[in-house]
């Protein structure tokens, strides 16, 4: 049986510097999909020159941030001393835990010479017991992302978070969670089964696509019901299309989000701000950045 659509929506503009951004989650219908509480889509854009704006270092607590870079070069600094660059197809993952400062900058990919950027940033809510843990960090290059071809030359699937068949992401799971990038060739389809009570949403970044026989437009965020069933993705275009599919088990603890912090109570939010202003998150050696996300 095919899963039914609960709702679909388009995002709100939330631009930063030279980047055009649509905030897809949270939205007017949902605060979370499984452990995912935030999704920004940095839409595909051609830049005439090196970008030169940004918000600088900022704190996080209680979540893990995940940046998936389809096109571009993403540079990460944090107050735990971590530093790395990932390039087109790569992932930056940071568990903020009990508090950290980071500065993450997106620019054009210096390894390819292209002047396009296209990326996503997710926030993954941590269970309360993990919110008190020390920060952690992973930089994952494109060739390290688990990927497999789909049957009948239909395309491929990448496992950004979680597991799919024999593929396993290196990003830690603190609850049941998954984030898949599905790439379908023209005229092809792919079907995936979801268990009972799993929360799941799809996002169509650049092309319209059929989901369970219903056509949705580029830029749409689509959430499905929690009944066990299938999601059939079909590309009826003359060019390849992409879908992000993500979610997991419901987050059953209270969710209180304010600014860069996601905790379980207002008192914990107050503690997060108090510790930040007291300098307990450390500091980053100040440098000028290109564009922070």
Question: Where residue 203 sits, what CATH number does that domain have?
Answer: 2.60.120.10
284 occurs within a structural domain: no
**Residue 234, Cβ neighbours under 10 Å: how many?**
18
Cα–Cα dist 38/142, whole Å: 23
41-63: per-residue pLDDT in tens? Answer: 999 999 876 664 445 789 999 99
290 occurs within a structural domain: no
51-94: per-residue pLDDT in tens? Answer: 644 457 899 999 999 999 999 999 999 999 999 999 999 999 99
287 occurs within a structural domain: no
289 occurs within a structural domain: no
275, 278, 284, 286: CA torsion to nearest 10: 140
Structural domain containing residue 171 = 5-277
207-257: per-residue pLDDT in tens? Answer: 999 999 999 999 999 999 999 999 999 999 999 999 999 999 999 999 999
134-159: per-residue pLDDT in tens? Answer: 999 999 999 999 999 999 999 999 99
- Give the predicted TM-score (pTM) of the model: 0.95
171 occurs within a structural domain: yes
Q: How many separate domains does the chain show?
A: 1
Whole-number pLDDT of residue 235: 97
CA distances from 244 to 53, 54, 113, 125, 216 (A): 28, 27, 26, 18, 13
Cα–Cα dist 142/144, whole Å: 5
Is residue 26 reached through a cis peptide bond, with omega within 30 degrees of 0 on the bond before it?
yes
């Amino acid at each position: 049986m095919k899963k039914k659509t609960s709702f679909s929506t388009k995002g709100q503009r939330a631009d930063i510097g030279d980047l055009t951004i649509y905030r897809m989650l949270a939205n007017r219908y949902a605060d979370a999909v499984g452990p995912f509480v935030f999704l920004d889509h940095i839409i595909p854009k051609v830049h005439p020159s090196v970008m030169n704006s940004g918000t600088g270092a900022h704190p996080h607590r209680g979540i893990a941030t995940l940046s998936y870079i389809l096109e571009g070069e993403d540079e990460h600094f944090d107050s735990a001393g971590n530093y790395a660059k990932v390039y087109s197809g790569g992932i930056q993952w940071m568990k903020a835990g009990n508090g950290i400062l980071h500065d993450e900058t997106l620019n054009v990919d210096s390894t390819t010479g292209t002047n396009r950027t296209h990326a996503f940033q997710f926030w993954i809510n941590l269970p309360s017991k993990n919110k008190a843990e020390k920060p952690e960090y992973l930089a994952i290059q494109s060739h390290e992302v688990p990927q497999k071809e789909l049957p009948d030359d239909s395309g491929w699937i990448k496992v950004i978070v979680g597991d799919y068949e024999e593929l396993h992401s290196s990003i830690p799971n603190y609850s049941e969670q998954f984030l898949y990038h599905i790439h379908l060739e023209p005229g092809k389809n792919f079907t995936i089964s979801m268990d009972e009570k799993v929360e799941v949403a799809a996002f169509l970044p650049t092309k319209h696509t059929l989901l369970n026989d219903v056509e949705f437009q580029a830029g749409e965020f689509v959430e499905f019901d929690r009944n066990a069933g299938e999601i059939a993705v079909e590309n009826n275009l003359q060019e390849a299309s992409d879908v992000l599919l993500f979610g997991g088990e419901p987050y059953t603890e209270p969710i209180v989000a304010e600014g860069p912090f996601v905790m379980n109570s207002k008192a914990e939010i107050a503690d997060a701000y108090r510790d930040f202003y007291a300098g307990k998150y450390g500091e980053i050696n100040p440098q000028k950045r290109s564009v922070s996300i």
